Amino acid sequence: MTSGQPGTGNARPTPTGADAEVRPATSAATGAPIQPARGSDQAPHKAPVGTTADHSPPADSAKTGTTPTGDPETEPAQGGPAQGGPAQGAARRGDEEDLAAKQSTAAKQSDSAAKQASSGKGSDPAKDDATKGSGPVTDATKDSSPAKDDGTTDNTAKDGDAAKSAKAGDADSPDKADGEAKPVTPERWEAFASAPEPKPSMATRATRAVGRFLAHEWTLATLGALALAVLMTWPTLRYPRYTLPQDYWDPSLQAWQMAWSGHILLADPARLWQSNTFFPELWSFAFSDTLLGYAPAGMLGSGPEDAVLRYNIMFVLAHALATLGAYALARQLGAGRIGAAVAGVSYTYAPWLLAQAGHLHVLSNGGIPLALAMLARGHGWSLRHGYRPERRHDGWVYAGWLVAAWQLSLGFGIGLPFAYVLAGAVLVAAVLFAVRRLRTGQAVPFGRRLFAADVLGGVLFASVGLLMAFPFFKVTELHPYAERTVADIGLFSPPASGFVTAPAESRIWGGLHEGARAALPWHPEMTLLPGFVLYALAAGGLFFSVWRLRHRLLLLAGVLLTMVFAMGTRFFDGTFTYVPLFEHVPGWSALRTPGRLMLWTTLLLGLLAAGAVTALTDRVRELTAQRIPSWPGPWLRMATLLPLLLVTVEGLNTTPHPVVPTQPAAMRSAEGPLLVLPSNQSLDQHVMLWSTSGFPDVVNGGSGFTPRQLDDVRRVSQSFPDQTSVDYLRTLGVRTVVLLRSQLAGTPWEITINAPVESLGITRQEIGEAVVFRL
């Protein structure tokens, strides 16, 4: 409802509030109460331009206890006159009169009347007769809110535009001075507000933190890699204390290596390289790859059964780490989750690696892609996005060098090529930085902290390499016949057909490729199929990928180059490929199996495949977002998992898990140094495992080469027990000889084991299935 003179369009907003006592407003002309305005009448009407708006008296605020607020100078109304205009001058004169009214003693003793008004465009504020107790109210404000009856008159406009509140009223009525404290009363709508969210307890916060951790991508990736490793290596963990994967010869040796390193680092670290086997040889722990990086695991448990359990656990974890490492590298380079998973699974469960199930030092390759991923992350570099200096982080660089050094400590068979690849990558990166700086004339952002991390990390990596290499150089010096020759390399060099031939352990291709394997001279090291599915995905990645074309071509060049080197002397006799490395690169002559370089081929093929799968998933995501209705969306997204499923299926195996020979009871109490007969390369690896009960010195040993002294012991002992063999063994310091009856069939000891020994000055004792001779 409007009030005032007809035609003025003035609307008087009335104060509202259920809890406040409000005196009804009266008309200036008649004194009759004015009816409250309806909801539709509360919006102010704009006065015509050029006319003077009349003002109706506001409701008497003395009863409501409100205090007038607002300053016409500091809170200009939206749509009001420009500064310096007539309206503003009038407003200033009105302020002077208000200030005079504030100084009135009679006004200070009376209740203040809150008048709510808005100064309109083209209208000047006018004062009514002071004796009427009413003030002018302007109506030109575009957005006006009803006054709140909460102890103060709050007059705000929508969208942050404050309406001007004119201090009008009786000449004797005072206004509060600016800055004077206003009474604080509770918000009248506070009772109707929603209850504040309670502060979570410590248990709730901990639960939420655990939930966020479990739902994190890297937590899920780690758990997924572990679960997949258990399934893909099954039944390794079915009887982990009694069986070994593939065979019980090399795995027995490697189980002893982990046990020895853990034991001796706790007991006598200075004797690490002087192991209890190959007695009395020196530096015997360096006769083969050592798996020294697994020494912390070797500190747990004792005896053969614990050694077998430890081996099986590390066997499964090695697969999980390889999957996680390749996944991390692909993600860092810019692949999507599914594409990175394809890279991780294809790298770990490639069919050719099934033939290496008995070589833990070959399967322990997860540190290679993981270290590369960490170094790339620390330097802010990815294949998809290039170099991004803002993403640099020296902590990741330190972590990458530490993982690289740990990988090198597992053995040079896999670690040495990795060291040279890493050195080459550092050299190429340095050259590219220099070229970019010369081309642009600007210093490429790098930073001192990052440079220091690279220097310190590189020094650590090189130091580990030198410390690991020193014992091997000593072995070469003491046993020069242990060095490989080009002819030795030729025995293990695979032909080109090996790249499409699967090992017998492949569940999918093993039976189908039986004829192809028969044509290979040494098929365990020559069946190098990385997977036909991987070949197909990598080929598709050459044409459809998220990687740039030049990166795809570089990856293809890397695949072809590593294949050529993996062929050893089969590619033009290795004259321009493997032989120069063998002859001139330090340490390369110790690598007798070129086919293991297929590891790098598999990794590069996996990255090509990851680019193709990522492009596919991105395209599917776009299609499902555009389709209306989107019902095929879930099926299309599920179809992107097909490459991952196929790669996983192709990695299924039929790896045997034979039962490990039981430790003879005589080995638990025999005093060292001792010799166990019969002795040969395979049986001696069992003896090494059995020696983990107390680690007595034993003459037996199996490794990549056989020392000449051990050859002499085996030759002379053929006639044991006789005077010649007894005297020779006493000269070496051997105190006990153990003959195993279960292994004597077809050997000379099958006849001489029961010969009298009193004249030789030795004693014989039957302990279980073994005969113990004490010299």
- What are 458-466's contacts with CB under 8 Å, separation 24+? 458/401, 458/426, 460/401, 460/402, 460/405, 461/401, 461/404, 461/405, 461/408, 461/419, 461/422, 464/405, 464/408, 464/409, 465/405, 465/408, 465/415, 465/419
Measured CA to CA, the distance from residue 470 to residue 486 in angstroms comes to 23
The per-residue pLDDT for 403 is 97
Owner of token pair 């499409």 = 500
The per-residue pLDDT for 628 is 63
The per-residue pLDDT for 445 is 85
Q: Return the closest-CA partner of residue 504 out of 475, 524, 485, 484.
A: 524
312 pLDDT more than 70? yes
DSSP 614: H
Which 3 state secondary structure label does DSSP give 773? strand
Measured CA to CA, the distance from residue 321 to residue 409 in angstroms comes to 16
**pLDDT, mean of residues 731-739:** 93
30 pLDDT more than 60? no
How far is C-alpha 122 from the geometric centre of its chain's CA atoms?
67
Measured CA to CA, the distance from residue 598 to residue 758 in angstroms comes to 59
Omega before 678 within 30 of 0, i.e. cis: yes
**What 3 state SS string does 202-256 have?**
HHHHHHHHHHHHHCCHHHHHHHHHHHHHHHHCCCCCCCCCCECCCCCCHHHHHHH
Q: Yes or no: say if 490 and 569 are a contact pair by the CB < 8 Å rule.
A: yes
763 pLDDT more than 60? yes
- Whole-number percent of the chain with pLDDT over 70: 74
Measured CA to CA, the distance from residue 197 to residue 517 in angstroms comes to 70
**pLDDT, mean of residues 270-296:** 94
Condensed to tens digits (0 to 9), the pLDDT of residues 352-411 reads 999 999 999 999 999 999 999 999 999 999 999 999 999 999 999 999 999 999 999 999
Mean pLDDT of the chain: 80
Measured CA to CA, the distance from residue 336 to residue 341 in angstroms comes to 8
Omega before 661 within 30 of 0, i.e. cis: no
Condensed to tens digits (0 to 9), the pLDDT of residues 553-562 reads 999 999 999 9
Q: Determine which of 215-219, 502-506, 586-590 has the lowest per-residue pLDDT on average.
A: 586-590
Q: Yes or no: say if 81 and 50 are a contact pair by the CB < 8 Å rule.
A: no
Token duo for residue 693 = 């009960």
130 pLDDT more than 70? no
**pLDDT, mean of residues 177-202:** 66
Q: Kindly list the distances between the CA atom of residue 117 and the CA atoms of 68, 136, 307, 449, in Å, as whole numbers in the listed order.
A: 11, 7, 91, 65
More confident residue, 92 or 411: 411
pTM of the model: 0.75
**pLDDT, mean of residues 418-430:** 93
DSSP string, 377-398: HHTTEETTTEE-GGG--HHHHH
pLDDT-based confidence at residue 683 (cuts at 50, 70, 90): very high
